[in-house]
Amino acid sequence: MRYVIIGNSAAAIGAVEGIRTVDKEGDITIVSNESHHTYSRPLISYLLCGQTTKEKMKYRPDSFYEDNGCTVFFGTECEKIDEKEQTVTLSDSRKLSYDRLLIATGSSPAVPPIDGLSTVQNKFTFMSLSDAEALEQALKPKSRVLILGAGLIGLKCAEGIAGLAGKITVVDLADRILPNVLDEDAAAIVQRQMEHHGINFVLADGASRFEEKKAFLKSGREIEFDVLVVAVGVRPNTSLICNLGADAKRGIVTNNRQQTEFTNIFAAGDCTVSRDLTTGQNKILALLPNAYMQGHCAGVNMALGQAVYDNAIPINAAGFFGLHLVTAGSYDGIAYVEKSENAYKKLVVKDGLLKGFIIIGDVTRSGIYTSLIRNQTPLDTIDFDLIRRSPGLMAFSRQKRDVILGGAKS
């Protein structure tokens, strides 16, 4: 069997490992548009602030490709898929034949159509190791940095460069930071933490026009800067399958085996649509754990094994200057809230199930809440009052504890 994987991040690595659980001998070829060994993208901010190294960022050991019998083409784009001939054409004109193909092309930074943006010379995005390295080279101790976007990418960038620049200002159209992740109370706690470390925020406002080193905001405010970082969102890289006639501009659609409408083509990761278990909605969940699990499922099925991935949930884990947060699921339902100045816990219940949560502060046992959501555990089968206050196995029945701990069958 000949396997071709387009991409080299979490979904691709999951696919390699999934394939090898079934097929130990088939040929695996990875096509990577980056020149780096596979690495963990969420760690690029920690590289800039000196909390990690390139070596520690590697998602798998140096021997991973050799250990798994992979041929890798680094720094190479895939330009075309011929579904009938079952070939892919690379940017160096080489053609690869496949029996099973995985599209794990991820996403790219979205660049908003703002007047004058093209005139800004020191303009960067913050999604890849190369992005981080280029940004670091442009920064000086007195640099004034303007970041467009107060989502996870923008805030992690701000944290990463806090010791490398003179002034950092984050602008977002939303009225709070992390608007897709946190509610107002939780966002306020994280914002205070970041402001305490010198990050400035301009919220409920956005850029309407740029000059070379000046942003003109919708409110009439003007912000001068030396370096601009655009972190307003991402778009899925779906052109390869769209060119085959698939309607995938908003994300590649697959079944629960990660198979596309084309029998021998699979897809996984940030370029695909997932079904959110907590809402039943189909949407992109651009999250590393989700990408890996999709990739692993795809790999097993590409090798003619049997695997299903149908319990995807939105989950985010991050830290900002030592303040940790974990969120998961959706927030539509009855909320149980505990909060203090620097800590926050919100559990959301609907239809007798835990649907989502936000925890800021001590996140060490948040995995129990995630498990309740992912397994759709009926709350009347556990001591929910106890688990609300202190997540732990004692809230489960003896039989369920044995199952969780691996001592009994469900």
According to DSSP, the residues that pair with 223 across neighbouring strands are 215
pLDDT of residue 51: 94
Helices (H), 146-229: 152-161, 184-196
Q: CA 188 to CA 178: how far, in whole Å?
A: 10
Strand-pairing partners, residue 203, are: 172
- Domain spanning 117-230: which CATH class is it, in words? alpha beta
| pTM value surpassing 0.75 | yes
SS3 323: strand
The rounded distance, in Å, linking the Cα atoms of 368 and 359 is: 12
The most distant pair of C-alpha atoms in the chain lies apart, rounded to whole Å, by: 66
Contact 211, 224 (CB under 8 A): no
- Classify domain 322-404 by CATH architecture: 2-Layer Sandwich (3.30)
Q: Provide the 10 A C-beta neighbour count for residue 354.
A: 30
Other Cβ atoms closer than 10 A to 196 = 10
Say if 2-108+234-302 and 322-404 have the same CATH topology. Answer: no
Find, among 252, 256, 346, 251, the residue nearest to 298 by Cα. Answer: 256
The DSSP call for residue 350 is: E
Q: What is the pLDDT along the chain (410 residues), one digit of tens a residue?
A: 999 999 999 999 999 999 999 999 999 999 999 999 999 999 999 999 999 999 999 999 999 999 999 999 999 999 999 999 999 999 999 999 999 999 999 999 999 999 999 999 999 999 999 999 999 999 999 999 999 999 999 999 999 999 999 999 999 999 999 999 999 999 999 999 999 999 999 999 999 999 989 999 999 999 999 999 999 999 999 999 999 999 998 999 999 999 999 999 999 999 999 999 999 999 999 899 999 999 999 999 999 999 999 989 999 999 999 999 999 999 999 999 999 989 999 999 999 999 999 999 999 989 889 989 998 999 998 888 888 888 766 556 666 655 555 555 55
Burial 43-68 (b: 16+ CB within 10 A, else e): bbbbbbeeeeeeeebbbbeeebbeeb
Tokens standing for residue 400: 């369920």
Pick the CATH number of 2-108+234-302 from 3.30.413.10, 3.90.1150.10, 3.50.50.60, 3.30.420.40: 3.50.50.60
- 300 and 307 in contact (C-beta within 8 Å)? yes
Quote the pLDDT of residue 249: 84
Q: Which long-range contacts (CB under 8 A, 24 or more apart) does 393-396 make?
A: 393/368
Query: Any idea where the domains of the chain sit in the sequence?
Result: 2-108+234-302, 117-230, 322-404
Measured CA to CA, the distance from residue 115 to residue 100 in angstroms comes to 44
Strand, helix or coil for residue 8:
coil
Q: CB atoms < 10 A from the CB of 87, how many?
A: 15
Backbone angles phi, psi at 205, to 5 degrees: -155, 160
Nearest residue to 181 (alpha-carbon basis) of 388, 346, 47: 346
371's enclosing H/E stretch is helix 366-374
